[in-house]
Every structure is written in C-alpha cells, then in structure tokens.
Amino acid sequence: MSVDAFSAPGTFYRGNLHTHSTRSDGKISPEEVCKRYRERGYDFICLSDHFMQHYDYPIVDTTPYRTNSFTTILGAECHAMATEAGEHWHILAVGLPLDFEPNLPGETGPQIAQRCLNAGAFVAIPHPEWYGLTMADAATIPGAHAVEVYNHTSQVRQARGGGAYYLDNLLTSGRRINALAADDAHWFLDTDQNRDAFGGWVMVKAEQNEPEALLASLKNGHYYSTQGPTIDNIAVNGDTLTVECSKSMQIMVVGRGSKNEAISGVDMTSAEFPLKKFAGDWCRVMVMAADGKLAWSNPIYPR
C-alpha cells in the first residue's frame, strides 16, 4: 500500500514555500519573484516576506501574478522575541489572510505561531541550523507542521542549511512533524554559478493547483521535498518498504539513532527494504542522485 503522499488522489505540483522580495529584505520585486519561479517551471510559490514593523508588516498580495498554470499562496515569515539563544524567532506561515494582524504588544514566538495556526496557516520551523534553534525552542510551538531539512540560502551563504538532525531529534522525542526543503531566496547571489534560489522545493500531491487544495495537502503531509531527485512512489507491503525514484546512486531509510538501511548502485530506480527494525517507531526515506543532491520523504510510522 502506498504511503499517503503517493496514494492520495491528484497530481504532484512543484512549489517553493519560502522566499523574499523588496517588500522586506529581498533584492527584486514581488512581480519579478513570481515571474522567475514561473519561468523556471514552478507551479506555485509562497512569497514569505519578513512580517516585521521595520517592513510595515507585509502580507504581500501576489494574486495579480497568478496565471492559468501558476498560482501563489499568501504568507509571511513571522518574528518575535526570543528563542532560547536570545534570537528573534523565525516562523514560516504559509496561508495567511491579507488582514493578519501585526505583532501584538509583548507577543512571543510561540504566541505568534499559534496565531498563524489559528488563522489556518501551514506553519514550519525554518533554518534551525542557521540560528541554532534548540529542542526546547521547538517544544514551545507544538502545532508546527514541518521543519526545514534544507534551506538553500543558508547553505550557499553560510554552509548552515541543514535541519535533518533537528527533525530526527523531534521525531525521536515522540513529536510527529514533517520535513520541508525551501530556497529562502533573497536574490543576494544571482549568477548561474552561485544562486540562492531554485535549490530546494516541495512536490505537493493535490487535486488542483489552487491555494486551498495545496494548503490542505501540505497540512496532510501529502508531499515530499527535494533538491532535484524525484520520488515516484513509496509503498509498505507487510514488513517491506518499496521505493521507486529517478536514477540514483543511493536509496536510504533512516530512523531512531543509528537505525538505517541503504542500497547503493548506478542509476537505481527502485529498492526494497525490511521494516522490522523500524516497527512501532518512525523512519523516513532519502534518495541521493549521482551529483549528491537529495530528496526527502516525510516520516513513515511502520506498525
């Protein structure tokens, strides 16, 4: 039986959920951001400018830039003091209304995260490695849907783009939370050789390429994340997990602690793994292409 992201009805749509424009600290206009993603073959984006007083609390209306084949979800990257390290919180909120209220007096990160959830948003924990977010921090926002396992800008600018270790610690603690790859593009680097965009995205299974349908699929975990490789199917049959994917050099299943299974080869497009060691716990799939780029499934919970 295919896991939910692959058995759900619909089509996979390519999208980026985290990017910036001149409405906050990005270098190009909202219209140009949408144009560039559309021309690169994306089906949708969320323009998530920094929701801060310094930028006049923008929820950018990107509806004028939608087309018959490209859509946008409204959202923002919200902020409040303070993480355990004394930093401003970064809360990625995909699916906010245009009239979402500015920060309330004395509002904390967990409080604004809850307001985003109450407003119907898909809420993610962005770039945890980039600013040293702790497990204690994550515990204060229990409603978050996902963790960024890869943030492209944090990787190409500071070599701190990872988040899989953070995700795995949360899963091991008993938290059920999904993965997310995103650009966080600011357009500071914009050459063919070095660009902070088009490096990490989600493939969302939905019946329509429309904001409400995409948002529902994100909340249901009906997607996978990637830097390029495709995951065509993941199925569980009894105590066996089967993966079908684009050509790869390694297909992996990882779980609690050091639990793992991996098969390596040349141009592999499928693999089977025993699930016995992951039974009653969690595991997740990764696919690595010959160029080292990865795709990540959301966690799977074998019985």
Enclosing domain of residue 248 = 232-296
Is the link from the previous residue into 82 a cis peptide, with omega within 30 of 0? yes
User: For residue 303, is it within any domain?
Assistant: no
Count: domains in the chain: 2
What percent helix, strand, coil does the chain show, rounded to 5? 20, 35, 45
For the segment 112-141, the average pLDDT, to the nearest whole number, is 98
Q: How confident is the model at residue 1 (pLDDT cuts 50, 70, 90)?
A: low
| 277 and 204 part of one domain | no
Q: What is the pLDDT of residue 194?
A: 81
Q: At 152, is the secondary structure helix, strand, or coil? A: helix
Are 202 and 248 in the same domain?
Answer: no
Is 302 a domain residue? Answer: no
SS (H, E, C) 34-100: HHHHHHCCCCEEEECCEECHHHCCCCCCCHHHCCCCCEEEEEEEECCECCCCCCECCEEEECCCCCC
The predicted-structure confidence for 263-272, as pLDDT tens digits, reads as follows 999 999 999 9
301 in any annotated domain: no
Eight-state DSSP code of residue 199: S
- pLDDT of amino acid 109: 98
Tokens standing for residue 31: 């219209």
Q: 290-299 pLDDT, tens per residue?
A: 999 999 999 9
Percent of the chain past pLDDT 90, that is, above it, reads 97
Same-domain pairing of 11 and 84: yes
For the chain, report the end-to-end CA distance as a whole number of angstroms.
13
Q: In which residue are the tokens 């990490």 written?
A: 200
Token pair listed for 223: 């997607």
- If you average pLDDT over residues 79-87, what whole number do you get? 97
Mean pLDDT of 1-21: 94
Residue 161 domain-assigned?
yes
Instruction: Tell me what the mean pLDDT of segment 91-108 comes to.
Output: 98
- In this predicted structure, what is the pLDDT of residue 66? 98
Instruction: Say if residue 238's pLDDT is above 80.
Output: yes
Q: What is the mean pLDDT of residues 47-68?
A: 98
Return the pLDDT at 192.
78
The overall average pLDDT reported for the chain is 97
| CATH code of the domain covering residue 93 | 3.20.20.140
Supply the DSSP string of 220-268, one letter for each residue: HT-EEEESS--EEEEEEETTEEEEEEEEEEEEEEEESTT-EEEEEEEEE
Nearest partner of 248 among 219, 220, 270, judged by Cα: 270
pLDDT of amino acid 115: 98
Rounded to whole angstroms, what are the CA distances from 122 to 47, 119, 145, 282?
Answer: 14, 9, 6, 22
If asked whether residues 76 and 216 sit together in one domain, one would say yes
Residue 153: inside a domain: yes
Q: Which CATH number belongs to the domain containing residue 290 in this structure?
A: 2.60.40
Determine contact, residues 112/103, Cβ cutoff 8 Å: yes
Residues 39 and 112 in one domain: yes
Same domain, yes or no: 129 and 154: yes
What pLDDT, on a 0 to 100 scale, did the predictor assign at position 56? 98
204 lies in the same domain as 239: no
Whether 148 and 280 share a structural domain:
no
- Picking from 226, 245, 270, the residue at the C-terminal end of a domain is 226
Q: Per the domain annotation, does 146 fall within a domain?
A: yes
Q: pLDDT by residue (tens digit) across 153-191?
A: 999 999 999 999 999 999 999 999 999 999 999 999 888
Question: Are 70 and 114 within one domain?
Answer: yes
CA 273, 275, 278, 284 torsion-angle sign: positive
Q: Do residues 142 and 241 share a domain?
A: no
In the prediction, which pLDDT does 67 show?
A: 98
The pLDDT of residue 125: 98
